[in-house]
């Protein structure tokens, strides 16, 4: 678990002037990685670094021998730190690299951003205890949390083929639905489409099959974090999920933001990991002094809604909720340690979802299922519209940032997608 260094100095400024905007997501203290290419082309994806409103083409800086993102993800933690230091040095005011690196800059609005890496495998956890409690209470008022929740990081395996880059729309899914009072299910488009506010954990170096990752080594296997929207069809989910869990209700679309904010960039925003006194202590493989001291990363998370009517009128999106990653029940190191305790081999480019990250207050729900109390209490929007679940034409936008006194604010950019009408079956 790294500590702040010279690359986090809040006084550090860049010769890329847009990076010095105090409200911007991508100052020189951030330097997240992603992939880009020319718009509407089939050219290979290139590695880019976000700096202000520009993208730095990493291959044109001479800092990497390989331009393959998989090679970068697999690099050891020490190599990542060296690369971050070199990027910081080359982009700071007065750098000797300014004249040559200026040719490697492209305006972010002029490029196509894709998935930040090729996703190998996808696992979605359930580490947001406030989400688990609220949703559980809708179905089990007396026992909202199942007996294993505070002992084991619960997860399921999802599909990587339907993980979509931010900005890409998708059609409303169809599936088997059994409505209240119906004697049999029918196939139709979901009427209870929902979003889930999550963070994505991008795996860096993998581990050999049969070789569990110890907790204190877990973060060396994490390259960084992204925003993740795990779209969910709640009516399909309610009918299919027992006994094996999510299937068609989850695998139709998962939206991922284009930038990976590295763990090194997040070093100033660490906090201690503390469990309530009356909760069970984590089992030994999920507990360590280092994890207790600084296992939490404080990240402010927000969900915004832009309806079709808002777009037509030119109205800005409306914020639906706000929460913080500090309220998750399990740390990211614990998720890695648990995922591998049985010998599972993680690979570079694997994606782990944190699960829905809701806050302790009702208004901090990370899904509409929570905010509308299962659809029974639709939320009112400023223009007179209301939503119990996501409507066709709605755009959901996830944002996130970190800020702390004595350090520069850094952000994650946007994770956005628009829901199209269901496709007509053949």
Catalytic residues: 131
CA 313 to chain centre: 30
Asked if residues 368 and 194 have their Cβ atoms less than 8 Å apart, the reply is yes
Q: Is 176 exposed, middle or buried (0-12, 13-18, 19+ CB in 10 A)?
A: middle
> Rounded CA gap, 336 and 123, in Å?
11
Close Cβ partners of 96 (under 8 Å, ≥ 6 residues apart): none
Query: Is residue 323 a contact partner of residue 364, using CB atoms and an 8 Å limit?
Result: yes
281 by DSSP, 3-state: which? coil
Cβ-in-10-Å burial (0-12, 13-18, 19+) of 188 comes to middle
Nearest CA-CA partner of 131 in 145, 147, 148, 152: 145
Instruction: Write the DSSP symbol of residue 75.
Output: S
Q: Dihedral angle at the C-alpha atoms of 137, 141, 146, 147, nearest 10 degrees?
A: 140
φ, ψ of residue 7 to 5 degrees: the values are -70, -15
């Amino acid at each position: 678990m790294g500590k702040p260094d010279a690359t986090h100095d809040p006084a550090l400024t860049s010769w890329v002037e847009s990076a010095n905007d105090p409200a911007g997501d991508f100052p020189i203290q951030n330097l997240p990685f992603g992939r880009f290419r020319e718009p509407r082309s089939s050219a290979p994806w290139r590695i880019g670094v976000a700096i202000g409103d520009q993208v730095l083409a990493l291959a044109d800086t001479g800092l990497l021998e390989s331009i393959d993102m998989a090679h970068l993800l697999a690099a050891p933690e020490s190599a990542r730190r060296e690369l971050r230091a070199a990027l910081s040095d080359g982009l700071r005011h007065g750098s000797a690299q300014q004249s040559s690196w200026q040719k490697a800059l492209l305006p972010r609005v002029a490029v196509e951003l894709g998935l930040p890496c090729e996703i190998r495998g996808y696992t979605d956890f359930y580490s947001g205890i406030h989400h688990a409690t609220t949703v559980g209470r809708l179905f089990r008022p007396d026992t909202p949390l199942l007996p294993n929740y505070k002992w084991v990081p619960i997860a399921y395996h999802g599909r990587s083929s339907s993980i979509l880059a931010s900005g890409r729309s998708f059609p409303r899914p169809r599936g088997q639905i059994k409505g209240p009072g119906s004697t049999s299910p029918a196939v139709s488009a979901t009427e209870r489409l929902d979003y889930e506010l999550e963070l994505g954990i991008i795996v860096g170096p993998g581990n050999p099959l049969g070789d569990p990752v110890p907790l204190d080594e877990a973060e060396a296997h994490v390259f960084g974090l992204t925003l993740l929207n795990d779209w969910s069809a709640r009516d399909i989910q309610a009918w299919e999920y027992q006994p094996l869990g999510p299937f068609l209700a989850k695998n139709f679309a998962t939206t991922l933001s284009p930038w990976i904010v590295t763990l090194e960039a997040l070093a100033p925003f660490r906090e201690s990991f503390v469990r309530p006194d009356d909760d069970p202590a984590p089992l030994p493989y999920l507990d360590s002094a280092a994890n207790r001291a600084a296992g939490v990363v404080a990240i402010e998370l927000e969900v915004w809604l832009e309806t079709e009517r808002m777009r037509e009128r030119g109205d800005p999106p409306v914020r639906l909720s706000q929460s913080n990653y500090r309220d998750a029940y399990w740390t990211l190191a614990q998720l890695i340690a648990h995922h591998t305790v049985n010998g599972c081999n993680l690979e570079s480019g694997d994606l782990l979802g944190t699960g829905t990250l809701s806050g302790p207050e009702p208004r901090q729900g990370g899904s509409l299922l929570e905010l509308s109390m299962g659809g029974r209490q639709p939320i009112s929007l400023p223009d007179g519209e209301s939503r119990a679940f996501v409507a066709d034409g709605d755009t959901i936008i996830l944002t996130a940032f970190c800020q702390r006194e004595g350090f520069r604010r850094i952000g994650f950019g946007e994770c956005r997608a628009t829901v199209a009408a269901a496709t007509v079956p053949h």
